[in-house]
Copies of this chain bind each other. A is one copy, B any other.
Amino acid sequence: MSTSINAPYHHGNLRRALLEAALIILEREGEAGLGLRDLARAVGVSAAAPYRHFDGRAALLEALAVTGFQRFTAAMEAIPLANPPDLMAAMGKTYVLFALDNANLFRLMFSPQLKRTAAPACAWPPTRRSKPCAISAVATPRPAASPRSRPWARVHGLAVLLLDGQIAIRAGEDTEALIAEIVRTSLRLAPAILPV
């Protein structure tokens, strides 16, 4: 367990601690409620300390977004392989659940206020890189024109609709099953998935 929690440095691995605390605050208070001083206070460190690890608030937010994309990718990679239709459904479900479980982070990941200097770290759209049949790009060319890109666009739209409350989930409902069904319905309307 001596992987990363230990203190290789002076006060501990601050950068990681900051990011973790920031993720919690972000999810609880929203992006506007994430202040650098609060953050420093939460980690038990001086107000100027974060500046040793991030160029400023904007850079901190960008690092958070990168973290988000990493976790997002990890969640995708964790999906067991399957034949394309099932895989697609599973990825869609994972996509939407990730958005719901990390609402503010997800919003941040696609926020226009990001300068995206670390663009390559923000890997989108999702892929299963181990699978040559994986679904590929959507954002780069003009995705609307590419039939095999539409499913992701649709799933993303679905996620945002849920986040925006345009598709409400009644309390006490089986969220996961409901999501799965919505995704399935949504994808059924999509054109067939083309192997790359």
Interface residues of A (CB under 8 A from B): 30, 32, 103, 107, 110, 112-113, 138-144, 152-154, 156-158, 160-161, 163-170, 178, 182, 189
Contacts and interface: CB of A to CB of B under 8 A. Distances in A.
A37 B104 CA distance: 27
Contact of A32 (B107, B113, B169): B113
A138 B189 CA distance: 20
Nearest to A170: B142
Nearest to A124: B166
Q: Please tell me how many copies of the chain the complex holds.
A: 2
A139 B165 contact: yes
A153 B169 CA distance: 14
Contact of A153 (B103, B142, B166): B166
Given A32-B113, A113-B30, A189-B189, A168 B143 contact: yes
Given A30-B112, A32-B113, A139 B160 contact: no
A148 to B, nearest CB: 14
Nearest to A165: B139
B156 A161 contact: yes
A139 B167 CA distance: 6
A168 B189 contact: no
Contacts of A182: 144
B167 A144 contact: yes
Contacts of A142: 167-170
